Structure 1
Amino acid sequence: MERIEQHASFGGRQEVWQHASATLGVPMKLGVYLPPAALAGQACPVLYWLSGLTCTEQNFITKAGAQQYAAQHGIILVAPDTSPRGEGLANDAAYDLGQGAGFYLNATQSPWAAHFRMEDYVVEELPALVAAHFQTTGRQGIFGHSMGGHGALTLALRHPGRYASVSAFSPIVAPSEVPWGQKAFAAYLGEDRAAWRAHDAVALIATATERLPLLVEQGEADEFLATQLQPERLRAACEQAGHPLELNLRPGYDHSYYFIASFIGAHMAHHARWLRS
């Protein structure tokens, strides 16, 4: 990996790294925050943030205000890009498909399958890369926003035992049932709806073999609440399956990083509880 950016932050250091991804076949960037404990040589747990549509590794590290809490709890924060990027790669003119919209799954359909393998990248390649370059305890958590909230929930549910903690802001909880997910799944996975359900948090809850507690934050003034997010579907699925869920509906808050920054401290404390237990 090559470090291309670094800034002192809350006694630690916010860095941006670039590397050649064997999984995606292109160079990728990721934000890495090293808390003071990590700079002092201590092994720290790792918390992965997955961003939403149109975002890069920059959105979270510049807008969420998470570094101060990562410094307090001694957690390494890793924020990858949302998709492979570059000339010659498949793309779409719309904001909700293609580059910037990887949906954290492995595409099976042409022309996407060659590079759009974000599930393998996040679950396999990225942790190996982080462990090779930084001192970690081996414990890891995952959280994200919108499309990234979908990614955090589904990757935790699809890979039991991999993550010690999970949470989400404004997640797409039932992508098989809403326009964002239906468009992406049809392009990346084809028309087989059984394949869609394998990447749908609401569907996965019914067969989950691990009862990892879910923490979900949702703004009630979110412009995508009724059409794309529909957190009541997740509540119903968790109630039916007996899966632990804390769903916080926040009056007045929208889909923006102002919302995320308002409650990121509580989510960092949630992850610290499990990552350091």
Structure 2
Amino acid sequence: MSTRVPITTAAVMAAAVAASVAFVGAQVSDAEPTNPVPSVTPPPPVDPKMTRTGLLSSENMGGRHERLHIASAAMRRVIDVDVLRGAGDQPRPTLYLLDGVDGDPVSGWLTKGGAAEFFADKPVDVVLTSGGTGSMYSDWERHDAALGLNRWETFLTTELPPIVESLLRSDGDRAIAGVSMGAQAAMMLAQRHPGQYRAVAGMSGCYSTADPLGHAVTSITVASRGGNADNLWGPANSPEWVAHDTVLNAERLRGTAVYLSAASGAPTHADLVAVAQSPDIVDALTVAGGGVALEAGARACTERLVARLGELRIPATVDYSDAGMHTWVDFQAQLPRAWKVLSTALGLPGAQ
């Protein structure tokens, strides 16, 4: 464990600049919370008649990959969920894997993060949500003009598990992991629902919400996709900002296996190769600059949570990389290390 890391002006600025870039291996946004940009697409429509939750249909996407279409009473719409069935015929544990801020129609873990290939021989069922753009995967207090109705915490912790785990014949054990915005959400859901997950992994995320640093990061993340953070948990002095702060509520992670990782922001060889191979090197360099800032901010945020866990004597596995940016190339490199912790907690030490 590292020692306590104070909230310095430099740390606040690094994290705020990082969050203002607010991309996960994708485009750079100049949005600020006081002047949010409009959404690229309109928010998902709400169906007031959708008052029951259930599986509507499923599609075989090839091999052991299925796409489920699930009616959510909480969000009054259909949520698309991708499932990677694990190897073997026996009941298996379930890993919920959260995407970053973009919330694309198909999880970035599938389109950019190599999850299908990595988990192909693993005896675990992987569940990947889509469409959570800028949502923090939380229950919002109010409908947002840009991001719509978001009740992701209810969906992920209450509505989805009985449906998907029954379909998959789960053994009842589960873990949750995420990257960037999804990392913050994974830790947040684990501390708000103690005992629901055997393990949690956060890769390149920020984990406070109530202090000036955490409020700034969260607000800018939401605003980068056109949302208004006041619609999320209310004004900054609302107790909900405290309730969702994992640093302040770290004690609630006791008994859960914890993995945290972040890099320095310095580009790796793979990052440089990706820039060199880009059809637009100037644009790629701009995006790479955002990746440097984002990862530096994530590193400062991660160090704060690690320090708090150390104060509480809560065990955690922590990986700090000397090189790596906030890009999918580097997130892919973090996944195998996270899996070592997750698989052991799920009773699958041989699957590492």
TM-score normalised by L of structure 1: 0.83
Distance 1:20 1:49 in 2: 20
Amino acid at match of 1:224: L
Deviation string, structure 1 residues 256-275 (Cα, Å, up to 9, x no partner):
11112113122223211111
- 1:202 and 2:273 are equivalent in the alignment: no
Counting only pairs closer than 5 Å after superposition, residues 1-277 of structure 1 correspond to structure 2 as 1=55, 2-8=57-63, 13-37=64-88, 40=89, 42-56=90-104, 57-83=106-132, 100-111=133-144, 115-176=149-210, 177-178=213-214, 179-183=216-220, 184=222, 185-191=229-235, 192-205=237-250, 207-208=251-252, 210-221=254-265, 222-227=292-297, 230-276=301-347
Structure 2: give runs of 5+ residues left out of the alignment: 1-54, 223-228, 266-291
Distance 1:231 1:209 in 2: 15
Cα displacement (A) at 1:68 = 4.1
Cα displacement (A) at 1:204 = 1.2
| SS at structure 2 position matched to 1:129 | helix
Is the 8 Å Cα contact of residues 104 and 117 (structure 1) preserved in structure 2? yes
Is the 8 Å Cα contact of residues 66 and 265 (structure 1) preserved in structure 2? no
Deviation string, structure 1 residues 191-228 (Cα, Å, up to 9, x no partner):
134210111111111x4263323111112114214446
Q: Could you say which structure has the larger radius of gyration?
A: 2
Cα displacement (A) at 1:21 = 1.4
1:95 corresponding residue in structure 2: none
TM-score normalised by L of structure 2: 0.66
The percentage of aligned residue pairs carrying the same residue is: 22
Is the 8 Å Cα contact of residues 143 and 149 (structure 1) preserved in structure 2? yes
Deviation string, structure 1 residues 126-149 (Cα, Å, up to 9, x no partner):
101102322110100000001100
Is the 8 Å Cα contact of residues 104 and 151 (structure 1) preserved in structure 2? yes
Amino acid at match of 1:270: V
Is the 8 Å Cα contact of residues 144 and 169 (structure 1) preserved in structure 2? yes
Structure that is richer in strand per residue:
1
Cα displacement (A) at 1:245 = 2.0
Is the 8 Å Cα contact of residues 82 and 102 (structure 1) preserved in structure 2? no
Task: Return closer, same or farther for 1:82/1:204 CA change in 2, 3 Å cut-off.
Answer: farther
Is the 8 Å Cα contact of residues 220 and 252 (structure 1) preserved in structure 2? yes
Structure 1: give runs of 5+ residues left out of the alignment: 84-99
2:280 corresponding residue in structure 1: none
